[in-house]
Amino acid sequence: MLQKTRGIVISTTAYAEASVIAKIYTEQFGLQSFMLNGVRKSKSRFNNNLLHPLSTIELIAYYKPHKTLHRVSELNSSPQLGSIPYDTVKTSMAIFLAELLHRAIREEEKNEELFNFIHHSIQFLDIQRQDCSRFHLCFMIQLTRYLGFYPQATFTYEYPYFNLLEGLYQEQVPLHPNYFEPPLSEKFHMLSQISFEELNTLSINASERKQLLHGIISYYELHHTNGVRLKSYTVLEEVMG
């Protein structure tokens, strides 16, 4: 049956001579795999530029519940991204966050709140004209609200160590290496409380940004991705410096 839904492109894999299998997080059906026949042909009826990581699209597909692969009939932007595909930093960030979502989202069912959060976040990144170097850190922390392991409690000077393994702030240094020292714990807490619109009011230098990224990736590995290591963050770090 033909079904229409908005979607967010997560990843693509070449298939046969000219086709593509795309992992798309959809508004109506959760994370699904879709076949786009002939998309790599020069005269394809599909616009291959709509399949970049985190592209926001609307598709009409032959969707059948309990099937693992569905065929796309129509594909359009919804809305068209104006800067992410053309800005080196934003493109690298999109590739990294798409990999994160690929590992983090397991739902093959509708989750309107999660979809709207991701969709809104992409739109914000796309229209952002100021420094966006903290965006991915804030996004990763806010995403944990929807995945079930959002940090517990709050940073205080009495509880200044964030324990990545336990997901909370504590008074003393944990008996393992998975924690943030007090200065990073405070920045981590600020990122968890701030909105995207307020990010540029938060001072984070390049060294802190790198340490926070590594720590948050570890946080995901400990709580959600079963130890699967993300890879594309190294490219993002190289681009951002």
DSSP string, 161-172: EEETTTTEEESS
The per-residue pLDDT for range 202-228, each reduced to its tens digit, is 999 999 999 999 999 999 999 987 766
The per-residue pLDDT for range 138-167, each reduced to its tens digit, is 999 999 999 999 998 899 999 999 999 999
What pTM was estimated for this model as a whole?
A: 0.94
Which contacts of 232-236 are long-range, i.e. CB under 8 A and separated by 24 or more positions? 232/92, 232/95, 232/96, 232/99, 233/96, 235/92, 235/95, 235/96, 236/92, 236/93, 236/95, 236/96, 236/136
Q: Are 32 and 41 in contact (CB under 8 A)?
A: no
The per-residue pLDDT for range 71-86, each reduced to its tens digit, is 999 999 999 999 999 9
Nearest to 83 by CA among 55, 57, 47, 115: 55
* pLDDT at res. 223: 92
Distances from the Cα of 86 to the Cα of 52, 99, 126, 155, 222, angstroms: 11, 19, 10, 38, 34
